[in-house]
A and B are shown apart, each in its own frame.
Chain A
């Protein structure tokens, strides 16, 4: 599960950083993860089952939340022009609104539900099953070839939007298409695991340091880096305290961020 979720988040982060022209962008930038958290929180607190098997009620509500957020961003971006600034501003507004709603739900939740919500937001691979792995894998194997089809256009975009447009890249359409793909990847990944935020941000940075920004290498590199980071985090979370499974979201942040900073600083010193 760690390999496919990490790969999906790595791919989503890499594409997001390119189309939003922002190295700080990640699958959580536009509120997709927050919307999934809201969906999951609603399912937990109000016991929304919709007749679904117990294991799938929360993931499906999380997925539905993420897809609704995606629809809102796509609609607003199309209605008001799909520039990077517009999309990021809508995303930030959405993050604040969704955070407030999640807090409100936590406020009215009983202690059992509250504990479940908090655990969900920490992100954990413990709820993995072969069915879930196959679902994420199918989505990943659908999205990855589509991303690879756009590698030249995405590489051209790194030189600047005006340049890419002059090469015949329909920048706005490409951006909306990529955001759709990223949102579906993120929604599927977090629906089954909860919030794992660090991988989608750092996986692409590691790939960029190793392979540069030619997207023929950068995209597969981000997929591998994401898979590697989350696999390592999963191993550590199982063995750091014998008998206790620490949520993977916590481990990725606590161990991964110092390692990532060390990598960045050593790169700067060499450069």
Chain B
């Protein structure tokens, strides 16, 4: 059972405040949480803070322990983070990259057990054919799958995935989100994913956190969160929310709102 409690969390880079006073309810175990918002709003900073890679003030507790006070090794054991950048294109083969991720974190495992875990992960993601291909000979999407395998092989309590489908085609997007959902459910863990594709998030996530103007604009179920007003407030676009025959909401954007500011940088 995984419990993440975020209270009054703020993130700043020097004098620049990125996110302020973020408070979120504890999510039920097995929940897929979509983190949405425009460019530069702080989605990646939020996930990096929860991964212990950015400093923060306030509180973010995983199973009662403050994340930024965890030892490196303990944090890596419980939290799996997929960065937005793809794994570096080196001559390392995928199998070695995933095995090193497993062995660097799971020091308790015997080598054979680690190898079995790596093989099971490749199979689970459907990328066994990539196992002995070098990272510098892979496409962006394939490297993203290897990055994801590096997270999944460690069986973390919480997965923090920064745009995990950005380099993937439709088929692989569905595959990845299905695998993430299955693992979160099986392990009674959590998955928080920063996504740009609102409709993908509404379809696959249970809960959505919508960021805007350095704060949480809304936090609600995927079924009910999106309204034309929130769409306007977060993205400065005018749009509608429609429902497909299966009852899944989807967003149709009609036009830009009158005053549109350029994308921000963190």
Binding site for B on A (CB under 8 A): 21, 152-153, 155-156, 158-160, 162-170, 208, 212-214
Contact = CB atoms under 8 A, between A and B. Distances in A.
Interface string B230-241: 000000000000
Interface in B42-79: 51, 53, 72-77, 79
Given A163-B83, A167-B105, A214 B72 contact: no
18 contacts: A155-B96, A158-B88, A158-B100, A159-B87, A163-B88, A166-B53, A166-B82, A167-B100, A167-B105, A167-B154, A168-B72, A168-B73, A168-B75, A168-B77, A168-B104, A212-B92, A213-B96, A214-B93
B81 interface: yes
Contact of A214 (B80, B87, B96): B96
Given A158-B88, A159-B135, A214-B92, A166 B100 contact: no
Given A152-B103, A155-B92, A166 B51 contact: yes
A165 B72 CA distance: 8
Contacts of B87: 159-160, 163
Given A162-B53, A168-B77, A213-B96, A156 B91 contact: no
B62 to A, nearest CB: 14
B11 interface: no
Contact of B81 (A21, A160, A166, A169): A166
A166 B104 CA distance: 10
A236 B151 CA distance: 50
B104 A167 contact: yes
Interface string B72-116: 111111011111010110111100110011011100000000000
Contacts, number: 85
A21 B87 CA distance: 13
Pick from A21, A166, A167 the residue with the most CB of B within 10 Å: A166
Contact of A159 (B90, B103, B105): B90
A160 B72 contact: no
A212 to B, nearest CB: 6
A159 B97 contact: yes
A156 B85 CA distance: 15
Nearest to A208: B91
B150 interface: yes
Contacts of A213: 90-92, 96
A165 B105 CA distance: 11
B91 A167 contact: no
Contacts of B96: 155, 212-214
B37 interface: no
Given A21-B88, A155-B100, A168-B73, 6 more contacts: A156-B97, A163-B150, A167-B101, A167-B104, A167-B154, A212-B96
Contacts of A166: 51, 53, 76, 79-83, 151
B104 A153 contact: yes
Interface in B109-134: 134
A163 B96 CA distance: 14
B147 interface: yes
A166 B81 CA distance: 6
B72 A170 contact: yes
Given A162-B85, A166-B80, A213-B96, A156 B104 contact: yes
Contact of B83 (A160, A169, A208): A160
B92 A159 contact: yes
B103 to A, nearest CB: 4
Give the 3 A-B residue pairs with the shortest CB-CB distance, closest first: A168-B76, A155-B100, A166-B81
A214 B93 CA distance: 8
